[in-house]
Amino acid sequence: MDLERIGQDLLAQALAYPEAWEDYPWGERVVKVRKKIFAFLAFAPDTLSLTVKLPASAQFAQMFEDCVPTGYGLGKHGWMSCRLTPGSNLDPELLGGWLEESYRAVAPKSLGRTVQP
């Protein structure tokens, strides 16, 4: 599993959403829509970290050992943090679906409706 390539693909997917842009508050890569964060993303050859808001899928995501509710009280609002290593069993397509769910949850409804499933 090439985690850095998967991370690059997820970043490209996130930045393709309407009005999405990359920012680095606190020195961390995030992707925002307008002024709201919908994804935290960090990747290297041996680790991929993705944090997204999953109002519909958070319970399902917790079934994977690589995913936990996000700290700082965000987990109670549906934010999940996934940390993958080479032995992880999460499908990149599933991560892409979660990224889309997060965008739709955070973006203004008029923008979220423009994204094709």
pLDDT by residue (tens digit) across 56-98?
999 999 999 999 999 988 888 999 999 999 989 899 999 999 9
**Nearest residue to 62 (alpha-carbon basis) of 49, 75, 46:** 75
pTM of this prediction? 0.92
CATH code assigned to 3-112 = 3.90.1150.30
The identity of residue 4, as a single letter, is E
Q: pLDDT tens for residues 22-57?
A: 999 989 999 999 999 999 999 888 999 999 999 999
Q: Over 90: is that where the pLDDT of 110 sits?
A: no
Residue 117 has a pLDDT of 67
| Per-domain residue ranges of the chain | 3-112
Sign of CA pseudo-dihedral 70, 3, 93, 33: positive
